[in-house]
Chains A and B, each alone.
Chain A
Amino acid sequence: QKEVEQDPGPLSVPEGAIVSLNCTYSNSAFQYFMWYRQYSRKGPELLMYTYSSGNKEDGRFTAQVDKSSKYISLFIRDSQPSDSATYLCAMSAVGVQGAQKLVFGQGTRLTINP
């Protein structure tokens, strides 16, 4: 079993829809949770960072963490064609010497149709 599971999709939704992206994990030591957006042939861009259970909102994006269920989500409201990308979840435990070793999900490929 992989430490982090993410449905690779692809996921296709109409413009303006609410998008829900999810990851589950098995390592209860994970404490830091991130969502990255990656456009084709580019490096991942950090979208959201959380370290506690609950919701964190930033503009059209909301990150949700449920540590008891080992489940994290990213919601995108009023989705735009420019949101079309691969979304990667990532998480880590407390690092040794401050190093943070991220474990990534496979990524979900999202397309927003105009």
Chain B
Amino acid sequence: SQTIHQWPATLVQPVGSPLSLECTVEGTSNPNLYWYRQAAGRGLQLLFYSVGIGQISSEVPQNLSASRPQDRQFILSSKKLLLSDSGFYLCAWTREFGNEQFFGPGTRLTVL
């Protein structure tokens, strides 16, 4: 069976510090991978998606970037965090040409 992991689970960072969130998927090959952000009391906003190693598509211009160094690894980064980057970050995956999207447990980021 497939599983998706995210870490860390929670993170508190000062403004201006760097960020690296990691997501890995097990039990499947060539998944499509997605990063979402969920602000308090709001729906999910798609940030980035990737259909393969090194292939990143950005949905929203912002202070964040994404990378996919391996087939089942997706990383969300920032060089300098802003207060507005606080939120719940969710990684998700679909099979290569699948439509059902499955989410990880999320990382709760607080920028102070």
Residues of A within 8 A of B (CB): 4, 6, 8, 32, 34, 36, 41-46, 49, 51, 88, 90, 92, 97-107
The answer to the question of B105 belonging to the interface, with a C-beta cut-off of 8 Å to chain A, is yes
Interface size class of B (residues with CB under 8 A): 20 to 34
- Whole-angstrom distance between the Cβ of B39 and the nearest chain A Cβ: 11
Residues of chain B within 8 A (CB-CB) of A90 are 44, 101
Say whether A44 contacts B44, CB under 8 Å.
Answer: yes
Does A107 lie within 8 Å of B32, measured CB to CB?
A: no
The 7 closest A-B pairs by CB, nearest first: A104-B43, A43-B103, A98-B97, A104-B44, A106-B43, A97-B51, A43-B106
CA distance A43 to B37 in the complex (A): 11
The answer to whether A42 and B106 have CB atoms under 8 Å apart is: yes
A84 to chain B, nearest CB (A): 17
Chain A residues with CB under 8 Å of B98's CB are: 98, 100
